[in-house]
Amino acid sequence: MTYYGIVVISLIKTIDNGFEIILDGKVLIRHTTKTPAFFIGEKRLAIDMRKGEFFIKDTTPYNQANLITVKDTKIVFDTFQIELKQDTYTKLVFLNLNQPIQIHLLAEQDEKIYGLGEHFTSLNLRGHKVKNWVEEHITRKQIYNKIIRRLLHIRPKKWPFEDYKTYFITPSFMSSNNYFCHMETPGYGVFDFTHNDYHSFTCLGSLTEIVLHKEASILDLSGALCRFKGILPKLPDWIYDGMILGIQGGTQFVNTTTKKLVQQGAKINAIWAQDWCGEIYTYFGKQVLWNWQYDPLLYPDLKANIKKWYSEDIKFLGYINPYLNQQEAMFKKAKKNNYLVRNTDGSIFLTQATSFKFGIIDLTQVTAYDWFKDVIKTNMLGLGMMGWMADFGEYLPTDCVLSKGLAEDLHNQWPDLWIKLNREVLEETDMLSKAVFFNRAGYSNNLKYSTLIWNGDQHVDFTDDFGMKSALRAKLSLSLSGVGISHSDVGGYTTVPGIKRKKILFLRWLEMNTFTPVLRSHEGNRPKDNIQPYSTQETIDATVKFSTIHALLKPYLIAVEQDYHTNGYPMVRPVFFHYESTKEDAFLLGKDLYVCPILNNRQKKIKVTFSNHKWIHLLTGKIYQEGCYDIEAPVGQPAVFYRADSQYNSTFKHITTYVKKQLA
């Protein structure tokens, strides 16, 4: 099999008392009587959801699968069969498998494992277990623990990796041995990388195939995985023209504040007002009303204002999710028309995220699905919106009743179905190349439908597991999972007692996100407690400066995006994709821009190692040869470097000239 210049030969080899599955000369699976690799289980799984949080108990026992025969490309066990197929990829196709299964892949002691979706605390998954389950990434226990520790001036607790959850899981991982493995399974399972000599995977839902592929380098492997998972569509051209300003509070405040920023020189390409449909105040803070029609009291004449902003080259973005507030008109309409997920007794299934209850639109019912598409077309695109946050999707309980299918089987796929609906809206209105929506939750097929991924809700602090550091790690882990474009909220989102966004956090996060594909701010759930782009003259000046830099990067950003569309290489990349480095606190934008963000409150210097090339500081113009340096990085001067031999030197020099003029 030839693929992008690589010849990959896969085969099944019979050995004493068993067989080996070989990928490009390397044994990945060895099954014998004494060292089995396949085990069949008896399902014992209990899953409960309370206020959007899942509690899972898995006590499934497994026994060695009984091998019958191996012939050519077929392996026959007593209860299922495997057939080896090759096209673009190597596939192990499972036939007649109706039970949970556990599979062992051979491992090497120094092997590293990456991927499996978005993870906030570690890029290398070796030594960890990962649940194959989409869910809210932070628990109430973790939030309360952090609040109490902060109020008592105690350092936040670092939880075991297995206690952290994720919105975006995908059953695909990459090995430092330059192969990827994908499990085609919809349900719950566990990827276990804690053993020295093998990796263990359990699938309690159906497993239809395992996809394997090998490349010559980790960069090419990431490109192959991106192509396999799905290439996101080209972003609208306007998205590279500066910052998407996250702002709320009604027409007058939004208009006045945006105008003030623009008049001072900020490059604002869009207004993102998530409270367009109304606001509700809960113990958590300010939340969206979840009734998907514009609020004429908060946003009078919204359609006319959107048209006015559009004439000023400022787009307008909104917010939506697949839930309906129980107290509002749209819920009542959906209930009347039987559009909502139900309990086993036929009543509406209601769940609660903060202090209000909501219903879940049944996306398996065709009429409800089409109705909700019309809601977006009429109430959002009809107003002139050019995009929205397509939030949530991870809250489907396993004990509810759907129009079609079982909730447990569809839970992981639910956010993909939700995003598929959003994608169809853009395609059916011929808006795919003009508008954009962004989502946080996803599973295996999400990238076939999404237009842009965002990293979810980080805390408004510098903490490693839930704050700014975790946002960087989230971007990189997605890049290692086949996700080509992602971004985070500038300044984070989650604001709780004892934790509010300070100026230094906003400024440092703004610096970091300027050098990612999409620059977008968020006010957070307590806007008045948080420093905003418009809060002080210093934050206004920083917003002007870095939104302009992002706009000046447009030729390079377009080129890096084209590289993603051509080769599958993600736009934001781990440094080790191109250079010798083990750093997890830095990243590349493309291959020519090296970004070393400041991730601590008081830090003003950073140690940077350059290898193989001459690099130039993007903001100062200072040249660095190969070696290790302590780089000065005061606020406003992040440690960002470009390759001296880059073909985009003129773009980078233009930015350096702009910054020096600002200082003059």
User: Out of 391, 461, 511, 523, which one is annotated catalytic?
Assistant: 391
Task: Considering the candidates 118, 220, 362, 457, report the single residue annotated as catalytic.
Answer: 457
Give one word for 345, left, alpha or beta, with left for phi > 0 and alpha for psi -120 to 50: alpha
468-479 helix and 503-513 helix, angle to the nearest 10 degrees: 20
- Where does 492-598 have alpha helices with state H? 503-513, 537-552, 554-567
Q: Where are the alpha helices (DSSP H) in 491-553?
A: 503-513, 537-552
d(CA 292, CA 353): 18
Question: Which position among 275, 394, 408, 416 bears the catalytic label?
Answer: 394
Sequence-separated (6 or more) residues with CB below 8 Å from residue 510: 490, 491, 521, 533, 542, 543, 546
| Residue 627 near residue 517, CB atoms below 8 Å | no
Q: Are 92 and 38 in contact (CB under 8 A)?
A: no
Helix/strand/coil for 527: helix
Amino acid identity at 569: Y
Cα-only R_g, the chain? 25
Residues 6+ apart with CB under 8 A from 601: 462, 504, 505
CA 542 to chain centre: 27
On the 0-12 / 13-18 / 19+ scale of CB atoms within 10 A, 144 is exposed
Q: Tell me, rounded to whole angstroms, the distance of Cα 124 from its chain centroid.
A: 17
Label the pairing between strands 453-454 and 486-487: parallel
Which pair of structure tokens corresponds to residue 225? 């995985």
Q: Tell the burial category of 507 from Cβ atoms under 10 Å away from its Cβ (0-12, 13-18, 19+).
A: buried
391 tagged catalytic: yes
Tokens of 623: 């040249």
Quote the CA–CA distance of 223 and 567 in Å, as a whole number: 6
Active site residue 457: yes
> CA-CA distances (angstroms) from residue 632 to 421, 542, 617, 627, 652?
48, 18, 11, 16, 20
Is-contact 393 319, C-beta < 8 A? no
Residues designated as active site: 391, 394, 457
